[in-house]
Structure 1
Amino acid sequence: MKLFGSSGVRGVALDDLSPEFAMRIAKAAGTVWGTDRVAVARDTRTTGELLSNAVAAGLAAVGRDVDRLGVVPTPAVGRYCEEHGIPCVLVTASHNPPQFNGIKLVGADGVELTVDALSRVEELVLEESFADADPLSAGSTREIDGVADAYVESVVSAVDREAIVDAELTVAVDPGHGAGSVANPEVFRRLGCSVRTVNAQPDGRFPGRLPEPVPDHLDDLRRLVRTTDADLGIAHDGDADRAVFVDETGTYIEGDASLAALAADALSPGDAVVSAVNASKRLVDVCEDVGADLELTPIGATHIITRVRELEAEGRRVPIAGEGNGGVFFPEYRLSRDGAFIAARFLELLADGATASEVVAPYADYHNVRSGLEYGSTAERDRLLAAAEDYARAADAALDTTDGYRLDHDDGWVLVRPSGTEPKIRVYAEARSDDRASELAADLIDALEDAR
């Protein structure tokens, strides 16, 4: 697809993603859906109101009435769509820097659209072929209140609240000024936790930290965990569909380790797990121990959702899916990433008295390195990717080209691929020692830099 990347359309707001372009996407989506009513929601970004106004106008222009949900977490949008049976155009750039914005399309079942459905929308955007509405059939809008409150209740009621309450946990929560600020701390209060917060004021300038919950951005959360003796630190991205954790000592927990711990708890023999091609050996080990099958897809929620649906149509049970960036699906709950629900499921793992560090200790034998090389033009991107292919083809390692180039060595692996959301070439590496993971990543990055 030319427009929709691994997780919707994203770009620098008012430049790559203009109000006019947002309106075209909305008109195309409204045409494909053909429903009487469509929801519009957004995260906290400063351009969110402007772009959501354009989206609402586009939907009304093709005859769709609009439910304006305001600033809410992405998983709250999924709950609303599923309950009311209407789709949504969601204005969010998730973890991207503040100057970015984007658009996700969520179906009437509360799930992001599959690759095939997005392709149909994309075709109409490129052709500018939209439904016609005359002045008497143009859509109207209405403001919807209580979406965040209903979402909080849905998460609380879907987990073992009694066990979490009895554990008397203290949690430190960092929503990163994003959409999770309006709902997620309340989820943990309702679960009986003593809640401490940082960066919990909705603010699209993201003054306390950048939207992506990576280790370099979580110093405030680590300090808060240590100074409050919290049992767990929880951080979300800009639209709160992901959750990453800090243990009781203030140490960052690798997303691959928390995914493995959650998978070990959720899986039974014969189940299937869906993850992306950058899946950690931690998850591979869990699947082998349990007797579950691991299915790999290209990186991105859209691809994972598509494969989960295919497996479920075949009668397979898929209790968990996702990536090591904190984006975990529990398809039997809802086939969407849900930061508050992910965190609540992790709190269940602490309810028996284990500490967070003890829960992930079985998955601590691997080390990860993630890096990115920015490019300034399509030509530079093509040079970097050509160098990546040359490097991969010449390497003495097993090659997987599901998404980019993954090289599996006896003692680790490395993956290089273009980002689906930013102008970057991403490099991932994993090994049993930090030095070896760094070596694998550095060697590949050196080859790409030489190509500049």
Structure 2
Amino acid sequence: MSSLKFGTSGLRGLVTDLVGWPSYAFARAFFRSVAITAGANRTVVIGRDLRDSSEGIAATVAAAAAEAGFTAIDCGPLPTPALALEGLRRGSCAVMVTGSHIPQDRNGLKFYRPDGEITKADEVAILDALGDVSAVGSMGIVPATPESSARDRYLRRYRDVFAQDALAGQRIAVYQQSSVARDVLVDALESLGAQVTAIGRSETFVPIDTEAHRPEDIAFVRDAMSSGTYDALVTTDGDADRPLVADEAGRIVRGDVLGLITARYLNADTVVVPVTAGSAMERAGGFSRVVRTRVGSPFVIAGMAQAKEDGSALVVGFEANGGFLLGSDAQVNGRTLAALPTRDAMLPILATLAATRGSGLTLAGLVASLNAGETASDRLPETPAEHSSAFLQQLGQETFRSRFLQPIGAARAVDTQDGVRLELDGGRTLHFRASGNAPELRCYAEANTSVEAEDLVRWGLSAAADAMTSSAAARP
């Protein structure tokens, strides 16, 4: 069975399942269904990250575009938000070849309409169109028109609105690794006055996950910051739509806290976040409205669109992984920063550093001033979907929920739009949800201290495992 599957943002799977015909077929299905109905011109911009397999897959996508009657523009390696920006500028569709933060043996495709990311309905249309592609197409090599200035336009987007001294005096380490934004990050920070040192460049792919940090990444960041040379360290995941920022002590700042700082910096009145974001959005944000959605950028984008329709003036969205979506035009330094409703790493990095400098505090001091609490998460691997589903269904029922939570308290509020999120007393939350692309049950917790949050996750997973075992034993 193929590993290819649409997840929270795009199609992903093993490289061995994607190269060749599968990537051609999915691209053709996109062009035959979404692209021809989205009001786009017959042009598609194609970009890629720095994985070994990405260049070849991008060439296959270009061949599929030609077969469908589209002119392919090869933007080369560049951040996903830079490619999305180029598609918006041209009024064309876009295809980004990237596996984001997942390991080198996997890759994926992110599809964009001329107005932004595809929707969940578009994903269904692509899957429905796959059958029409199975017996057609030559898959020949088709040269794409090169385009080298999309990266520079993305850089100018931020350089032209932030003050030239916005980061003056700040000493920033850029952990370059294999991020496709490793050079543009250096250029952006230096153009705003920061003293930048590039470290850790890698010619082999490094799977940086900005939400579930690997022990080796945590160790690298702490070691890099241990000398006291830098005020902050910044980097991104592979395709630069998720940021990672560490403070002067080498502590990685949560992605939703980066989003909170950025939203406040932009004076947003409405923020749209998934249910996995911390409750500091409501408690400490100072926003007129906080909208919570299911996990995944398509749901956040839909929530932003609805908020704008409801009359919100400046709408932003962000996820627990730090990816920031600008749903409305915003004012920065008296200049207009145009909306970019797709996940972006550059804006939260620049806004967080600028807010730090403007506050007169260290980055750690700025984060502490938010009183955002602490979070933790973990998972139960190899948990069949039917077991997770049955447990979550039970947890949604008051009688079972009260009995389940008795050792730790009672639920003050319940959100069931993506799993079951429980608000407990003492500023605590406990959230269970099934993974969308793996057989596992995930648990997220929030508390006043990191020890409390970690203890809550450990209890939650143990209690969930016991409940699922008991339910399985009770079945005939």
Aligned pairs for 1:299-318 (under 5 A) are: 299-318=295-314
Is 1:58 paired with 2:64? yes
Give deviations 1:58-80, integer Å, cap 9, x for gaps.
22221111111121111110121
2:474 matched to which residue of 1? none
Aligned to 1:253, the other structure's residue is in SS state: coil
CA–CA distance in structure 2, aligned partners of residues 189 and 255 of structure 1:
23
Q: Select 2:209's aligned residue among 212, 224, 227.
A: 212
Q: Select 1:410's aligned residue among 425, 438, 441.
A: 425
CA–CA distance in structure 1, aligned partners of residues 252 and 352 of structure 2:
15
CA–CA distance in structure 2, aligned partners of residues 178 and 265 of structure 1:
26
Runs of at least 5 residues in structure 1 that lack an aligned partner in the other structure? none
CA–CA distance in structure 2, aligned partners of residues 12 and 62 of structure 1:
25
Shift of the 123–323 alpha-carbon distance from structure 1 to 2, 3 Å rule, reads same
Is 1:159 paired with 2:162? yes
Structure 1 residue 6, shift from structure 2 partner: 1.3
Contact 2:395 2:420 in 1 (8 A): no
1:240 matched to which residue of 2? 240
Which amino acid is the alignment partner of residue 35 of structure 2? W
Q: Select 2:145's aligned residue among 142, 145, 160.
A: 142
Contact 1:152 1:183 in 2 (8 A): yes
Structure 1 residue 247, shift from structure 2 partner: 1.0
Give deviations 1:375-430, integer Å, cap 9, x for gaps.
38xxx232233234334532232331111121221231111223335554322111
Which amino acid is the alignment partner of residue 457 of structure 2? A
1:280 matched to which residue of 2? 278
CA–CA distance in structure 2, aligned partners of residues 266 and 131 of structure 1:
50
Shift of the 418–318 alpha-carbon distance from structure 1 to 2, 3 Å rule, reads farther
1:326 matched to which residue of 2? 322
Contact 1:28 1:130 in 2 (8 A): no
Aligned to 1:162, the other structure's residue is in SS state: coil
2:260 matched to which residue of 1? 260
How many residues get paired?
Answer: 433
CA–CA distance in structure 2, aligned partners of residues 133 and 92 of structure 1:
23
1:78 matched to which residue of 2? 84
1:90 matched to which residue of 2? 96
CA–CA distance in structure 2, aligned partners of residues 78 and 200 of structure 1:
25
State the percentage of identical aligned residues.
Answer: 25
2:473 matched to which residue of 1? none
Structure 1 residue 20, shift from structure 2 partner: 1.9
Give deviations 1:283-306, integer Å, cap 9, x for gaps.
11134xx25111111111111112
TM-score by length of 1: 0.88
Is 1:113 paired with 2:118? yes
Shift of the 77–196 alpha-carbon distance from structure 1 to 2, 3 Å rule, reads same
Which amino acid is the alignment partner of residue 329 of structure 1? L
Aligned to 1:321, the other structure's residue is in SS state: strand
Contact 1:7 1:421 in 2 (8 A): no
CA–CA distance in structure 1, aligned partners of residues 91 and 377 of structure 2:
39
CA–CA distance in structure 2, aligned partners of residues 415 and 97 of structure 1:
26
Which amino acid is the alignment partner of residue 100 of structure 1? R
2:361 matched to which residue of 1? 354
Which amino acid is the alignment partner of residue 122 of structure 2? A
Is 1:363 paired with 2:394? no
2:14 matched to which residue of 1? 12
CA–CA distance in structure 1, aligned partners of residues 368 and 304 of structure 2:
28
Cα-Cα RMSD = 2.6
Aligned to 2:59, the other structure's residue is in SS state: helix
CA–CA distance in structure 2, aligned partners of residues 36 and 23 of structure 1:
18
Which amino acid is the alignment partner of residue 30 of structure 1? F
Runs of at least 5 residues in structure 2 that lack an aligned partner in the other structure? 330-337, 403-410, 470-476
Aligned pairs for 1:197-208 (under 5 A) are: 197-204=198-205, 206=206
Which amino acid is the alignment partner of residue 46 of structure 2? V
Which has the higher relative contact order, 1 or 2, with Cα contacts under 8 A spaced 6 or more apart?
1
2:387 matched to which residue of 1? 383
1:48 matched to which residue of 2? 54
Shift of the 44–418 alpha-carbon distance from structure 1 to 2, 3 Å rule, reads farther
